[in-house]
Structure 1
Amino acid sequence: MLKKVAAALLGTSLLFGGITMTNSKETDAKVNYDLKGKVKNIIFMVPDGFSASYATNYRWYKGQEAAWDSMLVGMMRTYSANSEVTDSAAAGTAMATGYKTNNGVISMTPDGKSLKTLLEGAQEVGKATGLVATSTITHATPAVFSSHVASRASEADIAIQMLDHNVDVMLGGGKNNFITKAQGGKQETRDLLAEAKRAGYTIAEDANSLKEAKGEKVLGLFAPEGMAPELDRDETGQPSLADMTKTALNKLKKDKDGFFLMVEGSQIDWAGHAHDAAWAMKDAEAFEQAVKEVIRFAEKDGQTVVVVAGDHDTGGMSVGGYGQYDAKLEVLRNVTATGDFMVKQFNLDKTNIKEIVKTYTQIDLSDQEVEKIKAAGSKASIVLNEIISEKALVGWTSTQHTGVDVPLYAFGPKSDLFRGLKENIELPIIMGRLIGVNLR
């Protein structure tokens, strides 16, 4: 039924399995907005693909509480306008605009109307803005805050809109999308990097140039496509997510009117798609380091609201499994490369599989496991990842997203407004009103 009445989400309620799914207008009415007090800055942190299972496994992996555990205020529903299971475009649109849309759509309604975003609203009230991600900066989650396209695949057009929106700080991968491209499918081309320089952006291409970046506007493009996974980042000159977050904070805090910043830990999701539990945990660790940078800033500032929420679950990760009442996340602490990286080290006849896996995981594969990897062909990395996951007793149910509710965390003044079981469309409405922005 949900798929048949997607467009009605903008104007009426949805009946879904006997439960009334709230729409945007009802969300406005039911939230008690206590706006007494001062909020200057909003920092929205999105660990893409992160659910309660990731949070629990990460706690065991780390061996102690995570930085966000004390910030837990509730849970969040994630479904899109046309599916019980959302993609990042529809989930991001909901969290950027306060409206549900169809999977694949970037900050537009299902019938093609552009939706005002929280970032655009922040600009209207004079605030500086920033976007940070470890995917391409034109990927779905950062894209929803500063562009409006019918398909998330239109990353070249998204890059154009991001520059046209004059976002002050943009840091991530995706340099290829800013090199001379055809605009809107036409023959006309635009050199977006040259345009960015003329618009006053400092261009950063690695960790060193990011540290040295002068001026208040920075465009950091640290990889042709997505950035390296945290497990493999030492092989590159790329900055960490915490490095990028710290730079963004240092630039944006100079605006006397405050700022809006979105930080995405993009590759937790990519790890879930690949069933790479070690990659997921290491990128969760990298995301936690960025959260710590933000909390240090917010504690000192006293006028900053921090909201942390994954956009959906990826992979259907379990805590324990395989018929055992146990979890062995310590196995993943010894893994020093992604499955993708390890498979690329296999020789042509695949006679070195045991040696490579032992080097990067300290795991001794059985002959049967080696043969299983050999027989997997193009799916060798996911088979390897599942073997490692099984040894850590981390299960998977899908290579795609799932529709489970996700944890919601908040810190700072008015963080109590985020308590309870929220619709994802509620978050931008609340954050917007705290800084004087009405997305309606």
Structure 2
Amino acid sequence: MFKKLSIIALGTGLILGAGGGWVQQADAQKPDWAGKGKPDHAGPKEKVENVIYMIPDGFNADYATNYRWYKGEDAVWDEHLKGLHKTYSEDSRVTDSAAAGTAMASGVKTTNGTVGLDEEGNEVETILEASEDQGKSTGLVATSTITHATPAVFASHVESRDNEAEIAKQMLANDVDVMLGGGKDFFVPESEGGEQEENLIEQAKEEGYTSVETQEELMDADDIDVEDGEKLLGLFADGPLNPEIDRESTEQPSLSDMTERSIDVLEQDKDGFFLMVEGSQIDWAGHDNDPTWAMKDTEAFEQAVEKAIEFAEEDGNTLVVIAGDHETGGMTVGSNGVYDTKPELVKDVTATGAAMAEELNEDRSNVEEVVEDHTPFDLTEEDVQTIQEAEDPKMAINHYISDEALVGWTSSAHTGVDIPVYAYGPQSDSFSGLLDNTDLPKIMAEAMKIDLADK
């Protein structure tokens, strides 16, 4: 399936030297936890033609640890751990996805809610745009709307992340070669229930895009030649895609499907490519304190990472970088004073807390029936009463399941903790140590020998 491999970056070990350039840290400065075994590649200056930037939104070390217990063995990224990165934004110690993404895409801090602009409102060049300037093909993949904050920061510049209709226009104008995710509503006119004055999908077709809307159409979309100006647009839902737990009941592709097809298309460019892949809904699971959603969407993200590393192993010139943008929910490993955690128990849960809450009748008299139908747990009378009387039954169900799995939560919002950085491929050791989120695109640009500067 894969003809050629590029670089996927996960973390860096570069520091800013006295002369303003990026230099490699000495081995002695690397923390003990920065990976294990032999380095992925021997030399720090090996050729990098392609970068695959993989962002598990909302993910941190607690998610990684719980997922390892959920899976029963190390995740694919565990052996590629390089370091940590700091996430604070220009105006807050706790970032949102727009500010974090802007920093991770451009190397410039900005204020929460801002996309692709610095704190003074000036446009900043992104690693995707710099790659395009170098003649490389580019792609964006997400399980949210493709116009959501994280994908948006790579190919648009707006004051508010909520302006997804304008983001869609700018993404098309930016000639991103592959865009796959949800968000059809932001590409079609109001007459068709959308947010635009004109039909951007039809406009995209006129500009060389093949448009697909189902998993089958995506996998069958052959003969897309980016060298000849052909591109791929996949919008698989009006809004975001479904959570992974019920994706199979739809015609929507998996995150690994979208990653694989993106690489198939982009690898045809002899000048190389840049691809960003976001596991968007890990973050949304954290906001809902839903351990089932979190673990199953992390599993889907790992399957996508496996596709990327598989390609990188064959290609030899591809850097794969894996780093979340922030943590969401304050997930803990263990809860309620118990010295244990059992996230593997959620493997047999068949619906998100939100989906279960929607099945409750008006007086919530069917709590026991609904929850026991979708989980392996037996509710006590006290459990039933707690959910019946809760102001938010969704959160009550999720906290019940979390308690059973001994997974804790401290927030329903983002937190400000440092985030693990993983990397595989040439120059992957450049991501070692304690970094800032602004360092990540700078190291990628240095690896690809491209300029990344303010617009």
**Larger deviation: 331-340 or 289-298?**
331-340
1:394 aligns with 2:407: yes
Task: Specify the code of the residue in structure 2 equivalent to 1:408.
Answer: V
Q: 2:345 aligns with which of 331, 337, 343?
A: 331
**Over residues 398-437 of structure 1, what are the superposed CA-to-partner deviations in whole Å (9 max), with x where a residue is unaligned?**
1000000011000000001101011010010010121122
Is the contact made by 2:45 and 2:426 (CA closer than 8 Å) also made in structure 1? no
Q: Partner residue of 2:280?
A: 266
Q: Of the two structures, which has the highest relative contact order with CA contacts closer than 8 Å and spacing of 6 or more?
A: 2
1:419 is matched with which residue? 432
Paired with 1:246 and 1:331, the residues of 2 have a C-alpha distance of 30
Gaps (5+ residues) in structure 1? 1-22
- Check the 8 A contact 1:316/1:398 in 2, yes or no: yes
| Residues in 1 aligned to 2:20 and 2:138: alpha-carbon distance in whole angstroms | 25
User: Given the alignment of the two structures, is residue 85 of structure 1 paired with residue 94 of structure 2, yes or no?
Assistant: yes
- 1:166 and 1:281 mapped to 2: Cα distance? 34
Partner residue of 2:36? none
Whether 1:140 and 2:138 are equivalent positions in the alignment is no
How far apart, CA to CA, are the structure 2 residues paired with 1:286 and 1:169?
Answer: 20
Task: Choose which of 66, 78, 84 in structure 2 pairs with 1:69.
Answer: 78
Structure 2 portions without partners, runs of 5+: 1-14, 26-42, 226-230
| Displacement of 1:201 | 0.9
Please give the root-mean-square deviation of Cα atoms over the aligned residues, in Å.
2.0
Are 1:28 and 1:429, in contact at CA under 8 Å, matched by a contact in 2? no
Find the residue that maps to 1:189 and give its secondary structure: coil
Asked if 1:380 is matched to 2:393, the reply is: yes
Matching residue within 203, 219, 223 for 1:211: 219
Cα deviation for residue 350 of structure 1 reads 2.2
Q: Does 1:358 align with 2:387?
A: no
Paired residue secondary structure (1:172): strand
Give the superposition deviation at 1:148. Answer: 0.3
Instruction: Indicate the residue corresponding to 1:131 in structure 2.
Output: 140
The one-letter amino acid paired with 2:238 is P
| Equivalent residue runs for 1:182-331 within 5 Å | 189-214=197-222, 215-216=224-225, 217-331=231-345
Task: Provide the rounded CA distance (Å) in 2 between the counterparts of 1:410 and 1:168.
Answer: 24
The answer to whether the Cα contact below 8 Å between 2:188 and 2:196 also exists between their aligned partners in 1 is: no
Question: 1:407 maps to which residue?
Answer: 420
User: Residues 39 and 188 from structure 1, CA distance in 2 versus in 1: closer, same or farther, beyond 3 angstroms?
Assistant: closer
Partner of 1:11: none
Task: Flag the 1:300–1:58 CA change in 2: closer, same or farther, 3 A.
Answer: same
Paired residue secondary structure (1:409): strand
- 1:185-212, Cα deviation, whole Å (9 max, x unpaired): xx99221111111111111111111112
TM-score, normalised via structure 2 length: 0.88
* Aligned AA (1:242): S
State whether structure 2 residue 62 is matched by structure 1 residue 48: no
CA distance in 2, matches of 1:161, 1:27: 36
CA shift in 2, pair 1:303/1:274, >3 Å:
same
| 1:189 alignment partner AA | E
Distance change in 2, residues 1:272/1:308 (3 Å): same
Stretches of 4+ moved more than 3 A in 1? 23-36
SS in 1 for 2:443: helix
Amino acid of the structure 1 residue aligned with 2:118: T
TM-score, normalization: structure 1?
A: 0.91
Whether the aligned pair in 1 keeps the contact of 2:80 and 2:424 (CA below 8 Å) is: yes
In the alignment, what sits opposite 1:3? none
Q: Is the 8 A contact 2:334 2:407 kept in 1?
A: yes
SS at match of 2:307: helix
| 8 Å CA contact retained: 1:27, 1:426 | no
Q: Given residue 210 of structure 1, which amino acid in structure 2 is its aligned partner?
A: L
CA–CA distance in structure 1, aligned partners of residues 167 and 17 of structure 2: 29
Deviation at residue 31 of structure 1 after TM alignment? 3.8
For residues 251-304 of structure 1, the C-alpha deviation after alignment (integer angstroms, 9 at most, x for no partner) is: 000111110000000000000000001100000000000000000000000000
Alignment partner of 1:421: what SS? strand
Contact 2:17–2:23 under 8 Å retained in 1? no
Determine if contact 1:35/1:434 at 8 Å carries over to the other structure: no
